[in-house]
Amino acid sequence: MQHPAAPYHEHAVRDEVQKICEEHGLRFEVDRYGNLLVRLQTAKKQRPFVMAAHMDHPGFEIVSDRRSSNHLVRFQGGVPDNYFREGIKIRLMPGHIPAKLGKRVGKDRTFEIQLSRPLESLSFGEVGREGHALPGLPTAPSPTFAVWELEDFRASDLIVGRACDDLIGVTSILATIIELKKARARVNVIGVISRAEEIGFRGVLALTNTKHLPRNSLVISLETSRELPGVKIGDGVILRVGDKTSVFDSDAMRFLAEVATELGTRRKDFNFQRGLMAGGTCEATAFQEFGFQTGAVCIALGNYHNCSPNGKIKAEYVSVADACGMVDLLAAAAKQMPNFQALVGKLPKRLREMRREGEARLLKTAAVGCSS
């Protein structure tokens, strides 16, 4: 979370993910579109269990003004217009260069940049994370994107930072695979860590047009999702039955519910919720539309997309316990993949038994009349 990112500018996050994979001996590859896939396949004949999350977060792309020598920033992602106020602090990347949002230019979300010095004269050797001099460092590439000037990461009972969405999902994928590897679990797991989700799932859409994922995979989308009535931060991982656009696969969600219920009976510290998280559309919709059996889990998020209830840009936050619960659920689900059909079949089996019992009683009472 200490590596800022924006759509199409996720490289620092991806580098950190690769570093973590190397430290833990995890197999990974980067596809031609820049998505990263992490694999733990100790039982390759099992049906693949795929977890998907994205590296980007709403942010600004630096663009040139063709009418002058000025540099502008164009916002990419879902944030209401009233949050864009002149003078809000932003950070230009790479280089951690402090700046402020200037006047809006045109009808789209393009803004001037307010800098203490011309952008061309700044480099890593002059301006660091807090705007202090950093002598002796090599000149860096010119900044290409910008993010809100907010704290990167802080944790206690809550994880607080600029981009919980969806770096908590990315972290959960890595934590789940590391835990499964340590446990020497027999699994066939693939982690999809994608790009450019905030502007229309561009990384996942490209991935679905490749052969990297077997078509019989069970795909579970991981997100942090805006806290809505019916779910609450701190009350556990959420079985996300749908989003703003779609309702997800019934069998996939029933499988997760069975795993979660069984996990809850064994561990009193495990809690889960269920909800239609209609605050936005997630990657599960994209996977599902292109033929993958898809479900989703998420945890409730405060200050979604850095939009606080009082109309100011603030850091996002989630519950540490909720995030840990998501990892626990995913690890348990990966282990239970060989039992997918049996778990999904529990409900129809119960319903058939109820039907038989009900039919017998209904037949006995069908001809009983009411005389008066």
- Kindly report, residue by residue over 305-348, the tens digit of the pLDDT: 999 999 999 999 999 999 999 999 999 999 999 999 999 999 99
Average pLDDT over residues 183-199: 98
- Confidence at residue 121, expressed as pLDDT on a 0 to 100 scale: 58
- Confidence at residue 344, expressed as pLDDT on a 0 to 100 scale: 97
Average pLDDT over residues 246-251: 98
Q: Is residue 367 part of a domain?
A: no
User: Does one domain contain both 218 and 248?
Assistant: yes
Average pLDDT, the chain: 92
Cis amide prior to 328 (ω within 30 degrees): no
Assess whether pLDDT exceeds 80 at residue 133: no
Average pLDDT over residues 147-165: 96
Q: Is residue 153 part of a domain?
A: no
- What is d(CA 57, CA 150) in angstroms, rounded to the nearest whole number? 13
Q: Which domain holds residue 16?
A: 11-57+162-344
User: Does one domain contain both 174 and 317?
Assistant: yes
Residue where a domain terminates, one of 148, 174, 190: 148
Q: How many Å separate Cα 202 from the centre of its chain?
A: 14
User: Does one domain contain both 338 and 229?
Assistant: yes
User: Does one domain contain both 269 and 298?
Assistant: yes
Q: Give Cβ neighbours of residue 60 (< 8 Å, ≥ 6 apart).
A: 6, 73, 74, 75, 76, 90, 111, 145, 146, 147
pLDDT in tens, 9-42: 999 999 999 999 999 999 999 999 999 999 999 9
User: Does one domain contain both 116 and 69?
Assistant: yes
Least confident interval from 176-190, 244-258, 354-368: 354-368
Residue 107 pLDDT grade (very low, low, confident, very high; cuts 50, 70, 90): confident
User: Does one domain contain both 131 and 21?
Assistant: no
User: Does one domain contain both 141 and 198?
Assistant: no
Q: Which of 61-70, 125-134, 148-157 is predicted most confidently?
A: 148-157
Residue 118 pLDDT grade (very low, low, confident, very high; cuts 50, 70, 90): low
CATH code assigned at 242: 3.40.630.10
Residue 64 pLDDT grade (very low, low, confident, very high; cuts 50, 70, 90): confident
Residue 125 pLDDT grade (very low, low, confident, very high; cuts 50, 70, 90): very low
Assess whether pLDDT exceeds 60 at residue 45: yes
Share of the chain above pLDDT 90, in %: 86
- Confidence at residue 131, expressed as pLDDT on a 0 to 100 scale: 39
Quick one: 196 exposed, middle or buried, by C-beta within 10 A (0-12, 13-18, 19+)? buried
- What is d(CA 141, CA 182) in angstroms, rounded to the nearest whole number? 39
Residue found by looking up tokens 């600029």 in the block: 162
Question: Max Cα separation, the chain?
Answer: 102
Enter the DSSP assignment of 223.
Answer: E
Residue type for position 197: E
Residue type for position 240: R
User: Does one domain contain both 20 and 139?
Assistant: no
Residue 367 pLDDT grade (very low, low, confident, very high; cuts 50, 70, 90): confident
> How many distinct structural domains can be found in the chain?
2
Q: Is residue 363 part of a domain?
A: no
List C-alpha distances in Å: 223 to 36, 161, 199, 294, 322: 17, 15, 15, 14, 12
